[in-house]
Amino acid sequence: AKPLFWRESSVEHGLAASSSERAQEQALAAKLVRSAREVEPVVRVAATFVEKVRNAMTFADGPASVVCFFVLGLVALALSCSLLLISLIDPGYSFVSGVYGAVAIVALARPSDSGHGSEDIAAAEARAQQPLQFQGLVNRVLSSVPDQAELAHRFVAAQVQKQQNGQGQV
């Protein structure tokens, strides 16, 4: 029976591992580490993005939340006005649907990756980094919104200031 975990634990239980099996396990572990290193920046940026957006939406920092809701209101107003304008210009939506379809087709059309040169690999890596760059840009915009560590620091600092001013908890 194959052990479910690393061979080191199976050796402790009296199962001997051959050198080829150990080499395979080391190669698998190295591959796992490489995969984790590739995924780590994406996960870090995504987690920071989610944390900042959540803190902006829950009034963890009042002024940042007000600005965030104001900007979202402006976006909603612009979208509503554009849809109203579109409905006035083209009540049947036939022309607008054609334009949106053409824009989608042109945006999704990509040249084929027939060559395997270094330029193609670099271009593919650059395309793979675009969503990460966008989230990084949004994170820089949301840099004024505090993260959990900064919120905890603000809470502790406020409690210390209350105690120093003689306004201890009741």
Taking a C-beta distance cutoff of 8 angstroms, is the pair 126, 118 a contact? no
Judge whether 155 lies within some domain: yes
Residue for token pair 């409690």:
159
Which of 130, 155, 146, 141 lies closest to 52 in space, CA to CA? 146
Mean pLDDT, residues 98-123: 73
What residues make up the domain containing 133?
129-169
- Using the predicted structure, report yes or no on whether residue 89 has a pLDDT greater than 50: yes
* Tally of CB atoms within 10 A around 98: 11
107 assigned to some structural domain: no
Number of domains into which the chain is organized: 1
> Is the model's pLDDT at 139 over the cut of 90?
no
For the cut 50, the answer to whether the pLDDT of residue 4 exceeds it is no
Q: What is the CA radius of gyration of the chain?
A: 27
Mean local confidence (pLDDT), 126-153 = 78
